[in-house]
Structure 1
Amino acid sequence: MKHKYYTSIVCPLSCYGKLSESEGEFAFDGFACLRGQLYAKSEYTDPVRMLTTCLSIEAAGIRRLPVVSNGEIPKRLLTQCYQLLSQMKITAPIKEGQIIATNILESNVDIIATRNITALPRFKVQEKIMNHNVIDFLNCLKEQLPDVTQLSAMEDRQIYAHGVCPVEYKWMLEGYYPHIPDAILMPSSIEEISRILQLANEFLVGIVPIGGASGSVCGTSADKGQVMLDVKRLRSFSINEINCTAKGGAGLTGADFENQLNDLGYTTGHFPQSFQSAVLGGMVATRAVGTFSTKYGKMDDMVSNLVAVLPTGEILRTHTAPKSSTGLELNQLLLGSEGVYGIVTEVEMEIYPMALCRYFEAYTFPSTLDGLEAIRQFMQLGLRPAVVRLYDHVESIPKIKKYCFEPGYSFLVFGYEGLEEQVFLEKKHIRLICEKNGGLSKGTKPGEDWFHSRFSTKKIQDYHAIRGGTSDAIEVAAPWDCIGNVWAAMREVLEPICNSVECHFSHVYHTGASVYVIFYAETGGDDFEGEKRYIECVRRAITASLENGGNISHHHGIGKLKAEYLEKEHGETGVMVMRKIKDALDPNGILNKGVLGL
């Protein structure tokens, strides 16, 4: 008789049970309902999965189209499905719900788009003759590295020219785009990247690394005479189950990495909103953070070692030891460096067995500050639910109305996962602390609804498309004794020049928290006015944060957009240290020049 153990994911109880099979006969133990038994039998005989991924799309303001299957697909077909979809050519406009692939692999399941994407007008570019040093550099590359793909057609260069920074959208809609790379290079190995950087120094050609292009701070904005280096062909994957770590090439998206781990029964616990497009290299470069960060941490907690190519071509491989007292922690030099100190090419991360139990719930609080106080208290007691997401009294309004909760209250979502006993204990103690601070338990449904819609950024994208409109999420962090003032001050300075401002707290720590301040503005003017309004909103928000004890960015990074504020956070001496490191590692200023103001 064969035995297998499964955690049912088809109902909120997440039962952990045993399936026993002998000559086609099945027995079950531990499942609380028939749904759990049917799920376990399906997993044993022919497991199925929903397919979610992002596909390349042309003539659009973003590069990736999120898609999902409208039914479950046999797990044995998923790899073939991904391969088939990756070969498709899709062109905007696309409507939400539009079928992208019909009856894929005769599975009786369609692949559909999950959002509207409008076609952008072709923007004008003032074509200039390529500098002689760039021409000579590219010709030399063709001779020495013939397997490295070079893209120089204007259409390719336009596609690569932008990330998702709101000013980049405005530049496109204004009809003139000022930042176009001279070419794009697509290497497939660390050694090729090393040689590219050596030659870039020889010919004095600037290099801008790019991955998923999900950055929102102009961190991959190329200038004339610069060449982009695309890392997406670096897609290696391996796992060390003894150390509970996994390695991934810098070009794997978060979703690619997570899906391969899930197939083996593991997870990173790292689910940023850009999960389906951001790549591992980019997430290291910005110290990215995901929605389950309270339990699993941030990229700077998860990375155990990495491989990077330094600006002059040397390959740095950091040690695999979990702790050392041997000088500087070199992982931390690259984490958050946004590509100015080196190009991350491979990452080893901590992984965890997939949780045996997962549970979501919600509370309401009389005020936002009451909710913050409850969070501070349980964090400082050492409780670590995976998800903590508090919406202020304004952003809570639609949720309060939807569920008919108390008007004027703030809304808080919790997500727990791990061992069943661990989840139960965390829920018990958090409930006591929430109730002590005026919190009212609202059950599981609001929390589960949040989980199923957590990747949506549709409202922000809609404002980008409005003539003269703009929107963004400014995320900052502050100690507990400052975070309330930071939140209030940022809201206060933005409300007079925005249609609406939404705020929530979604990453919390022993000593403080981060706050997202999301603004939506319409100027009534053209897109030049929209760009000006955006810059003014960013200036007001960051200034208010700094003046009240907060910082410039929690995890989106600095790029070129926010570089002018860096000295106000780090001081003149702090910026000098960063600049001297840059000068030592990159004496010719080759790599990602201007990012972080360096």
Structure 2
Amino acid sequence: MAAATCAGYDHSVWSTAPLRNPWVRLSPMATRRCLDITASLMQFSTACYDRSVRFLTPRAGMKMTGWIALVLAAGAACFLLWAAAQHRSRHAGGPRTGGNARIEPGPPPAVPESDAESFEVWGFDDTRFHVNSRGDVEVSGSRYELSGKTLPSLFRWFQKVIDVRLDPTDMRPTKYGQRIPASRAPQALRDALADFLAPDQISDDGEQRLRHGHGHTQEEMYAIKFEAIVRIPDLVVWPADEDQVVRLMQIAAALDACLIPFGGGTNVTDALRCPVDEDRPIISVDTRRMNRVLWIDAENRMACIQAGAVGRHIIEQLAEHGFTMGHEPDSIEFSTLGGWISTHASGMKKNRYGNIEDIVLDFTLVTPGGKLARSSVAPRESVGVDARRFILGSEGSFGIITEAVVRLFPLPEVQEYGSVLFPSFEQGVGFMYDLASTSDVPASVRLVDNLQFQFGAALKPESSRLGKLAGKLQKLWVLKVLGFEVDKMVVCTLVFEGDRQEVRRQEATVYRIAQQHGGFEAGPENGRRGYQLTFSIAYIRDFVMNHWVLAESFETSMPWDRVLDLCERVKARVHDEHRKRDLPGKPFISCRVTQIYPTGVCVYFYMAFYYKGVEAPERVFSEIEKGARAEILAAGGSLSHHHGIGKHREDFLSEIMSPALLEWNRRAKGAVDPDNLFAAANQGLGRKREEA
């Protein structure tokens, strides 16, 4: 595994920071020109000196000597430029020999008070969607593109889609924080933890324990607002390093407590929900104080990062040194590196940088039986069973990931956005299929269906008169001149990254193929807006829940030849399940195609329905979602592309895994963690569930 990797590497360096001298940016052609100029100036200076000695008076000779000195100085300057360029070519342009330069960044950026996260809803505490007195939706805060804006169409459009009139003043009152179970942690356990943890590293505060006892499924969020979560952690701890993690495990084992790792708390699989039949004291282990970039190997393009580092902070620190991991899940503002590994995550720019298994080279896992680690990292190895593959997606069942070595990529020279309108979803999928067979796939390519396209339009802020006129003209052009139909057209948003030549080549390929499928280039602004909306629309789920609407997303992956059929079948199944239960109005069900592969795609579905007057609506929602998941499997889709299993989808495991494979997983859990110290019981792994 890895982290011996991080600790054991040689940190002796030639330089602890990238070269900052502007001269080191000379190209090879500029270097040759400097050499030519230097040689010419030296020849000219020598000739002038000879002439001054032979033919000029002493005074004139002195003047000429001064000019010669200036010329020689200019020649010397050119020589220095050449030397600097040579230094760059030796120390930056190619691999060094005889040294191993490492950068050791400082502490991670301090988290300002303005970045406080909400315990009650998704995201930052300063950002909310709400309805104003005119019945228009407004977005508070200032961090997103929609922040501070009014969205005059959203609330009315959504009512039309679900065929229910929503009264903006009819909001369900929240009961958040009213029913928090008392801590069961005995004093002996508290005292033992206090022996090696500081007071601010241990908490039995009710709201802290509640927040660490759930993720972000709609059932969990419904429970904390309107019902209760009956079993939550008894203590929350924040270890600061690997030694404290080891000590924590020893104490938990000795005092018959159990542990549940916690990263950013953004999962949508019930992975953090505590088993109700767990009688031992439960300790939530929040890893976010283990948040440092330990080193950056600029030459070999690797970094060692502690597992509790949050995505947005990783981006900031690596960018300071000219690098990126390229991993950008929708939850990047809050999720952690350890969480990405534990859930086998994927990011929005996977097409360029890969999924988490492509980016992570090695990692360290602390288990009840000891630390799984290795002494070094190589580009590729064949050294027997690769335990790393078994830990990816293990969802906290085997131990705590403390640090990882990851691949780095130079920051792209160019980042550009784009978008393409297609007459239909079928034509958009055809475009993506042909694009996937080329070598010019952009970093991000996402195709939304017609309903989600309309949703994006409803999220447009209030515009000026001129803006409204421009919008009408654009609509007239698309519908009347191009002949697109308003209830069929779709959009594909694009993010291009790379050097300038590479991006231009990608753009040419994309728009050529798009044209072959009836696509119309819709400009970079729509692409940029579509990508950025990813982060702000995540807040809408909790907003509409207060207005009697339950909503959630789920995802899958499938081969290319199943895409269209699967999407239609899932939508039809949701409508059927909704109709069978005689629920009010109509369901909202839409999809988008995200990550693409040579063999298939990932598809997200978004589902919502009005629940006022419905008994146990969160369970009804879960039943409908399970019906949709069953349809996905029947149509040839996967159980999950990157969200994972947790407890939310474990009932389906027997449909996709053989009995022997399920038994293999159970025995692996028993071998690594025989006393079920890690007791989240995800994927059905753990003593309590096995006995049941």
Query: Would the alpha carbon gap of residues 462 and 122 (structure 1) be closer, same or farther in structure 2, given more than 3 Å must change?
Result: closer
Corresponding residue number in structure 2 for 1:479:
559
Query: Would the alpha carbon gap of residues 561 and 589 (structure 1) be closer, same or farther in structure 2, given more than 3 Å must change?
Result: same
State the one-letter code of the partner of 2:125.
L
**SS at the partner of 1:187?**
coil
Once the 2 structures are TM-superposed, how far is the Cα of residue 343 of structure 1 from its aligned partner? 1.1
Query: Would the alpha carbon gap of residues 64 and 382 (structure 1) be closer, same or farther in structure 2, given more than 3 Å must change?
Result: same
Q: Retained in 2: the 8 A contact 1:66–1:115?
A: no
Structure 2 residue 391 is matched with structure 1 residue 334: yes
**Alignment TM-score, normalising by the size of structure 1:** 0.79
> In terms of mean alpha carbon deviation, does 193-202 or 469-478 score higher?
193-202
Q: Retained in 2: the 8 A contact 1:400–1:409?
A: no
Q: Distance in 2 between matches of 1:122 and 1:453?
A: 28
State the one-letter code of the partner of 1:60.
E
Once the 2 structures are TM-superposed, how far is the Cα of residue 315 of structure 1 from its aligned partner? 4.4
Structure 2 residue 296 is matched with structure 1 residue 296: no
Corresponding residue number in structure 2 for 1:77:
none
Q: Retained in 2: the 8 A contact 1:115–1:458?
A: no
Structure 2 residue 144 is matched with structure 1 residue 56: no
Q: Retained in 2: the 8 A contact 1:195–1:313?
A: no
Structure number having the greater strand percentage: 1
Structure 2 residue 598 is matched with structure 1 residue 520: no
Corresponding residue number in structure 1 for 2:249:
197
**SS at the partner of 1:306?**
strand
Once the 2 structures are TM-superposed, how far is the Cα of residue 513 of structure 1 from its aligned partner? 0.3
- The counterpart of 1:464, out of the listed 519, 540, 545, is 545
> In terms of mean alpha carbon deviation, does 196-205 or 543-552 score higher?
196-205
Once the 2 structures are TM-superposed, how far is the Cα of residue 135 of structure 1 from its aligned partner? 4.5
**SS at the partner of 1:559?**
coil
Q: Retained in 2: the 8 A contact 1:289–1:298?
A: yes
Q: Distance in 2 between matches of 1:479 and 1:53?
A: 46
Q: Distance in 1 between matches of 2:522 and 2:323?
A: 31
Query: Would the alpha carbon gap of residues 52 and 508 (structure 1) be closer, same or farther in structure 2, given more than 3 Å must change?
Result: farther
Q: Retained in 2: the 8 A contact 1:475–1:515?
A: yes
State the one-letter code of the partner of 2:539.
K
Once the 2 structures are TM-superposed, how far is the Cα of residue 529 of structure 1 from its aligned partner? 2.5
Q: Distance in 2 between matches of 1:375 and 1:96?
A: 33
**SS at the partner of 1:371?**
helix
Corresponding residue number in structure 2 for 1:106:
none
- The counterpart of 1:418, out of the listed 489, 492, 498, is 498
Corresponding residue number in structure 2 for 1:79:
none
Instruction: State the structure with more CA Rg.
Output: 2
> In terms of mean alpha carbon deviation, does 252-261 or 588-597 score higher?
588-597
Corresponding residue number in structure 2 for 1:31:
none
Q: Retained in 1: the 8 A contact 2:179–2:228?
A: yes
Structure 2 residue 292 is matched with structure 1 residue 236: yes
- The counterpart of 2:175, out of the listed 116, 121, 144, is 121
Query: Would the alpha carbon gap of residues 192 and 432 (structure 1) be closer, same or farther in structure 2, given more than 3 Å must change?
Result: same
Once the 2 structures are TM-superposed, how far is the Cα of residue 153 of structure 1 from its aligned partner? 2.9
Q: Distance in 2 between matches of 1:99 and 1:429?
A: 37
Corresponding residue number in structure 2 for 1:311:
368
1:465-487 per-residue CA deviation (whole Å, 9 max, x = no partner) reads 334x3111101011112222221
Once the 2 structures are TM-superposed, how far is the Cα of residue 127 of structure 1 from its aligned partner? 4.2
Q: Distance in 2 between matches of 1:53 and 1:216?
A: 26
Q: Retained in 2: the 8 A contact 1:270–1:298?
A: yes
Q: Retained in 2: the 8 A contact 1:60–1:120?
A: no
Once the 2 structures are TM-superposed, how far is the Cα of residue 54 of structure 1 from its aligned partner? 7.0
- The counterpart of 1:396, out of the listed 453, 475, 482, is 453
Corresponding residue number in structure 2 for 1:320:
377
- The counterpart of 1:130, out of the listed 176, 184, 188, is 184
Q: Retained in 1: the 8 A contact 2:240–2:289?
A: yes
- Higher relative CO (CA 8 A, sep ≥ 6), structure 1 or 2? 2
Q: Distance in 1 between matches of 2:273 and 2:150?
A: 26
- The counterpart of 1:179, out of the listed 214, 226, 231, is 231
In the alignment, structure 1 segments of 5+ residues that lack a partner are: 7-21, 23-50, 69-94, 101-111
1:89-115 per-residue CA deviation (whole Å, 9 max, x = no partner) reads xxxxxx944589xxxxxxxxxxx8899
Q: Distance in 2 between matches of 1:413 and 1:178?
A: 43
**SS at the partner of 2:251?**
helix
1:119-164 per-residue CA deviation (whole Å, 9 max, x = no partner) reads 9534444746726xx5443333333556782212323322322221
State the one-letter code of the partner of 1:288.
A
Q: Distance in 2 between matches of 1:360 and 1:98?
A: 25
Once the 2 structures are TM-superposed, how far is the Cα of residue 333 of structure 1 from its aligned partner? 1.9
- The counterpart of 1:273, out of the listed 323, 330, 333, is 330
Structure 2 residue 263 is matched with structure 1 residue 211: yes
Percent of aligned pairs with the same amino acid: 22
**Alignment TM-score, normalising by the size of structure 2:** 0.69
- The counterpart of 2:320, out of the listed 243, 263, 266, is 263
In the alignment, structure 2 segments of 5+ residues that lack a partner are: 1-20, 27-76, 78-110, 129-137, 152-171, 459-470, 479-483, 579-585, 686-692
- The counterpart of 1:346, out of the listed 369, 381, 403, is 403
1:19-69 per-residue CA deviation (whole Å, 9 max, x = no partner) reads xxx9xxxxxxxxxxxxxxxxxxxxxxxxxxxx999723466334643679x
State the one-letter code of the partner of 1:460.
R
Corresponding residue number in structure 2 for 1:431:
511
Instruction: Count residues with an aligned counterpart.
Output: 514
Query: Would the alpha carbon gap of residues 190 and 538 (structure 1) be closer, same or farther in structure 2, given more than 3 Å must change?
Result: same
Q: Retained in 2: the 8 A contact 1:54–1:276?
A: no
Corresponding residue number in structure 2 for 1:531:
618
Once the 2 structures are TM-superposed, how far is the Cα of residue 371 of structure 1 from its aligned partner? 1.5
State the one-letter code of the partner of 1:236.
R
Once the 2 structures are TM-superposed, how far is the Cα of residue 168 of structure 1 from its aligned partner? 1.0
Query: Would the alpha carbon gap of residues 67 and 505 (structure 1) be closer, same or farther in structure 2, given more than 3 Å must change?
Result: same
Corresponding residue number in structure 2 for 1:227:
283
Once the 2 structures are TM-superposed, how far is the Cα of residue 327 of structure 1 from its aligned partner? 1.4
State the one-letter code of the partner of 1:121.
K
Once the 2 structures are TM-superposed, how far is the Cα of residue 313 of structure 1 from its aligned partner? 4.1
State the one-letter code of the partner of 2:550.
T
Once the 2 structures are TM-superposed, how far is the Cα of residue 340 of structure 1 from its aligned partner? 0.7
Once the 2 structures are TM-superposed, how far is the Cα of residue 455 of structure 1 from its aligned partner? 1.2
Q: Distance in 2 between matches of 1:129 and 1:400?
A: 47
1:252-299 per-residue CA deviation (whole Å, 9 max, x = no partner) reads 110000011111121121211111111111111112222111111111
State the one-letter code of the partner of 2:570.
M
Corresponding residue number in structure 1 for 2:527:
447
Q: Distance in 1 between matches of 2:636 and 2:242?
A: 41
Structure 2 residue 632 is matched with structure 1 residue 545: yes
Q: Distance in 2 between matches of 1:247 and 1:340?
A: 23
1:423-443 per-residue CA deviation (whole Å, 9 max, x = no partner) reads 111222222222222222223
Q: Retained in 2: the 8 A contact 1:308–1:344?
A: yes
**SS at the partner of 1:495?**
helix
Q: Distance in 2 between matches of 1:421 and 1:383?
A: 12
Q: Distance in 1 between matches of 2:525 and 2:205?
A: 50
Q: Retained in 1: the 8 A contact 2:366–2:372?
A: yes
Q: Retained in 2: the 8 A contact 1:197–1:311?
A: yes
> In terms of mean alpha carbon deviation, does 457-466 or 471-480 score higher?
457-466
**SS at the partner of 2:305?**
strand
